[in-house]
Amino acid sequence: MTGSPQYHLERVRKVFGRGQVALEGFDLQVAEGERVALIGPSGAGKTTLFRMLNCTIRPTAGRLSIGGQEVAELYGRRLREMRRRIGTIYQQHNLVPRLRVVHNVLSGRLGSWSLLGSLASLARPAGLETAHRALTDVGIGEKLFSRTDELSGGQQQRVAIARVLMQDPDVILADEPVSSVDPSLAETIIKLLLAISDHTGKTLLVNLHSTDLALSYFPRVIGMKAGVKLFDTAAAQVTPELLQELYSGHVPENGAGEPSREPEPRRIAV
C-alpha cells in the first residue's frame, strides 16, 4: 500500500438497537489514491461500513481516523467539513426526478453554498460551465438541461457521478453503483469510476454485488461476511475456495451481521 493513510480503522465495532451487531473487530487501512472493491453476501456489513466511512454514523467502539483526523473528535463545522471531503454514490441515485439535470448536478455544491445561494441557483443555476464539464466527463454533456426523470437508469447513474465530481471530494464511495443497470453498462460505469480515480488521484472504494467486476478491475479486494473481514488481498490472490467460503452459509468466528436489507444476488467467479 502506497501513499499517505486515507482511512485507518482499528478494532471497530458497530451495534444498532436491540443489540444488533453489524461490525465486529474490524481493522482497515486505505491509502490515498487506492482503488478497493468490497464484496460479500447480504448482511455482511458493507453498507454499515460505508456509512461509517462517510461519517453518517460513528463506531460504537474502536478507532476511525480519516486523513489523520480522529472522527470521534469531530463535531459541528469540523464534521461537516469532513463530510464534504467524501462523496458517496448510492444504489438509489437520490436525484430529484422533476428537476433539470443541471440542478441535480449542482446539488453536489450544496455543502459549500449558503442557503440563500442554494435557493438562488434554482432560479438561475450558478456554475453552468463546471456542471457541463462534469457531465461531459461522464459522457452525457448534452443532457445538461434535460429533465432528470426522462433519462434512462444508466444516464441517471452518470448524473449521480457528475454530482460527486461537482463536490470535488478526496474520496469516492460507491455503494452498489451498478446493481440497477444491465451487465454491459455496469462494466462501463465501473471503468468510468476507475478512470476518474486514475485521472484525479481520488481514493475509490466500491461495494459490489458482482465478484467478476471486483476481480477484473480492482487491484485490491476485501471480502466481508457477518460483520467481519474474511480476507483483504490482491485480486489475483482471491481463489475459488475463498469465494466459496465467503458465500457459504457458515458464519465466521466472532461474526456479526448488519440489519437485513434487500437480498443480494450472488455471482461467484470460479
Domain definitions of the chain by residue range: 1-85+169-270, 95-168
Asked whether the beta carbons of 246 and 39 are under 8 A apart, the reply is: yes
**pLDDT attached to residue 122:** 52
Q: Give the β-pairing of 5-15 and 21-31.
A: antiparallel
CB-based contacts of 194, cutoff 8 Å, min separation 6: 35, 204, 217, 218
**pLDDT attached to residue 268:** 30
Q: How far apart are CA 51 and CA 171, in angstroms?
A: 13
Is the alpha carbon torsion for 177, 193, 202, 101 positive or negative? negative
Q: How far apart are CA 5 and CA 33, in angstroms?
A: 10
**pLDDT attached to residue 146:** 96
Task: Give Cα 179 to chain centroid, integer Å.
Answer: 13
**pLDDT attached to residue 18:** 85
Q: Which of these, 5, 10, 1, 3, lies nearest to 68 by C-alpha position?
A: 5
For the domain made up of 1-85+169-270, give the CATH fold: Rossmann fold (3.40.50)
**pLDDT attached to residue 112:** 59
Which residues partner with 35 through β-bridges? 204
Output the tens digit of pLDDT for each of the chain's 270 residues.
556 899 999 999 999 988 899 999 999 999 999 999 999 998 899 999 999 999 999 999 999 999 999 999 999 999 999 999 999 998 888 899 999 999 999 988 875 544 455 444 454 566 788 899 999 999 999 999 999 999 998 899 999 999 999 999 999 999 999 887 888 889 999 999 999 999 999 999 999 989 999 999 999 999 999 999 999 999 999 999 999 999 997 666 666 654 434 333 333 332
Q: Which of these, 201, 200, 178, 167, lies nearest to 34 by C-alpha position?
A: 201
Task: Give Cα 228 to chain centroid, integer Å.
Answer: 18
**pLDDT attached to residue 180:** 74
Neighbours of 176 (CB within 10 A): 20
**pLDDT attached to residue 258:** 47
Q: 140-145: long-range contacts at Cβ-Cβ below 8 A with a sequence spacing of 24 or more? A: 140/101, 143/101, 144/100, 144/101, 144/102, 145/100, 145/101, 145/102
Record the cell numbers describing residue 137, joined without a space: 466527463
**pLDDT attached to residue 51:** 96
Q: Which residue has the cell 471530494?
A: 169
**pLDDT attached to residue 171:** 97
Record the cell numbers describing residue 27, joined without a space: 481493522
**pLDDT attached to residue 22:** 96
Going by the DSSP 8-state scheme, the letter that residue 164 receives in this structure is H
Record the cell numbers describing residue 159, joined without a space: 448524473
**pLDDT attached to residue 211:** 95
